Structure 1
Amino acid sequence: MRHNQLRAFHFVAIHGSFSVAAEKLKISQPAVSDQVKKLEQNYDTLLIRRHNKKITLT
């Protein structure tokens, strides 16, 4: 796990949005999604459920 993966997850969790997290982190939304996916792969578990434009923490 890398620090930026955990930070991306943290910002998504706090703001409830990949787009807002990206804006706050000053990176692209696909980069945030990629970091969260990598974190999920590292732990072999789903951390965020994605429902259209809404998210739910697991």
Structure 2
Amino acid sequence: DFYVAEALSSGALVSLLDEARPPDEGVWAVHPHPRHVPPKVRAMIDWLHDRLSAPGVRNQG
């Protein structure tokens, strides 16, 4: 859905076989130590969170 969300919401594409769709999986950010996350890594994690939480992007809560 991430790549085609806009086309699905506009009706340009139609989803087929929704009942055969595998369950969604989360996106994980793995880094060596949670207390000392480098600022660049933290910025990337925050950017991913913002992008993947945007309206039209399906997530599991």
TM-score, scaled relative to structure 2: 0.32
TM-score, scaled relative to structure 1: 0.34
Higher strand content, 1 or 2: 1
Relative contact order higher in (CA < 8 Å, ≥ 6 apart) = 2
Higher helix content, 1 or 2: 1
Select the structure of larger CA radius of gyration: 2
